[in-house]
Amino acid sequence: MTPSSDPIDQNAETSESLRFSPNFVFGVATAAYQIEGAVTTDGRGASIWDTFSHTPGKVKNGDTGDNACDHYHRWASDLDLVQSLGVDAYRFSIAWPRLYPSGKGALNPKGLAFYDRLIDGCLERGIRAFPTLYHWDLPQALADKGGWTDRGTAEAFAEYSATVMDHYGDRIDAVTTFNEPWCSSILSHLHGVHAPGKKNLDTTLAVVHGQHLAHGLSVQAMRASRDTVPLGIVLNAQSVYPATDRDEDLAAAQRHETFNNALFFDPLFNAQYPQAVVDALGDRLPSGWQDDMSTIHQPLDYWGLNYYCPHYVTDADLSSNAYPASKAFERPSVPRTDIGWEIDASTMTDLLLKLSDQYTLPPCYITENGAAYNHDVVQGRIADAPRTEYMQQHLAAVAKAINQGVDIRGYFAWSLMDNFEWAEGYDMRFGLVHVDYATQTRTLKDSALWYQALMQSRSQ
């Protein structure tokens, strides 16, 4: 499959192309470890990202999330920023080790109180709260017992999920179980890029299954607590294209898509692993995995798509490399963001249409979309026109998918503010709001002002 032959006009996004239903939800998104800091404050336990970021050579510049954006202490003024943008909703994550420092057992009342303040602060400002339960900060105590390869972790996650729903369910608008399980399984346990930094296929498959099971148990536990709050999961599905039209590359692209997309969509929405994965790797999946499929396959109220860029792949020779035997291919002379990701908004429309055709899916939210551009503050202004253009193009791509029948209910810009960008440390800036990490000064970028104006235009 190649990108659409009628790509979105890269330079002429009109207000008409960005016109959405009055009920369409606009928001901004963040994640706990990326912004909160205060990693040893008020009884928070250690997470795998604390361990990983303090391990030499794992994160650029030796950066850690120890301080990040100090959101733990600045949450009120940060919510004022969200309110000033005029958006409907704020998507944030709850740090599991703040509530349960050891992952299970004793509940930490000070951690519970922090998210009380945050959620109540959203309500006071007319902002809808969209919490995520797992944005990669697994309690280190559970990791020490096997992490997601241990069924006990899935059971502990269900208990944590029930606590969140019991305590906050009367004040939140939707709950996401997992953010991008691909990242916390394949990127983290096969490629070694994210915490805990492993490179083992068998471990990866066990983690994939453990997270699927945890998701299913979490949904069951939350519905048992309160059945009125919409529940979903966020997936970073890849728009995959072959590097060439060679048969080998076409086959590699199909394998890549199966391993990186269907390995997540098929269990969640079809109660099965992809047959191609079972054929190639079935003997390496956790024993008894079939018995868990009915638990994993829970009815969901929505799913979230995090989207940034297309993926081009080439063949890596299946006869001598483990499935899926695909290699990333970077096309020369194409526009890219500062992190090196290709820009092509038409591929987002392609992906949304393809997934909608392949699966019977609940309504969709675009739960992350944004661009890394590292513009400096010049005389109090951050002139980040490329970020604004990127958002315009991708919002137009969303509108195009809606017009072609995809049920999309909202869009969350990534991110509210510059933050700890995982293995990239503080080098890459995705925020609408600039953060001076030395002073913690927040400054709205031009892209934030554009987004603010777009919100204002909706009420006119």
Catalytic residue among 13, 36, 257, 368: 368
Q: Strand 128-134 to strand 175-179: parallel, antiparallel, or no bridges (unpaired)?
A: parallel
Using CA atoms, how far apart are residues 18 and 388, in angstroms rounded to an integer? 13
SS3 51: helix
Question: Buried (b) or exposed (e) across 104-125, using 16+ Cβ within 10 A?
Answer: beeebeebbebbeebbebbeee
Task: Answer yes or no: are the C-beta atoms of 193 and 187 closer than 8 Å.
Answer: yes
For β-strands 433-436 and 441-444, DSSP reports them as: antiparallel
Distance CA 31, CA 199 (A): 25
Question: Cβ distance 418 to 427 under 8 Å?
Answer: no
Task: Give the position of tokens 């190649």.
Answer: 2
Catalytic site includes residue 368:
yes
| Amino acid at site 402 | I
CA distances from 141 to 42, 50, 193 (A): 18, 12, 21
**Stretch (H or E) spanning 293:** helix 293-296
Q: Which of 36, 180, 389, 421 is catalytic?
A: 180
* Burial readout 37-72 (b: 16 or more C-beta within 10 A, e: otherwise): bbbeeeebbbbbbbbbbeeeebbeeebbbeebbbbb
Q: Rounded CA gap, 131 and 171, in Å?
A: 11
Residues with catalytic roles: 180, 368
